[in-house]
Amino acid sequence: MRAILQRVSSASCRVDNTTTGAIDEGFLVLLGIEDADTIEDLEWLAQKIANMRVFGDDTGLMNKSLSDIDGNILLISQFTLFASTKKGNRPGFTRAARPEKAIPLYEAMIKQLSTLLNKNIQTGIFGADMKISLVNDGPVTISIDTKNKE
């Protein structure tokens, strides 16, 4: 499982000219799920996201987590995080999980983050053509891969 966390001042997702999710300060999380992912990967990653300390404290140091700032999450499914670009110029996506595996894990991630943060998680629509808008704060962008836990 891979996640790209972007610290944002605001972010939103639109599908067919309808807003499906919008947040103020917090994380826009792009989430990629592969066939090898497990519920253990999901739980580990959710803890990392919820506790990542990249928000400024009183001295300007990145020392606060989402909970510390009462921040929010906009979670977007993003199978292209598993693009293979080794051969040619057209990426392959064979490592990305098929919807029958990815959708339950995506929904479980929404539930897990909601539980950890004690708030609703804003989302896109799995598999839809989404238009994402964001104001990247910093910019701060963090990449996390559950296959590189050490």
- Residues forming the active site: 80
User: Which residue pairs, CB below 8 angstroms and at least 24 apart, start in 101-106?
Assistant: 101/33, 101/35, 101/37, 102/33, 102/77, 102/126, 105/1, 105/33, 105/37, 105/39, 105/42, 106/31, 106/33, 106/75, 106/77
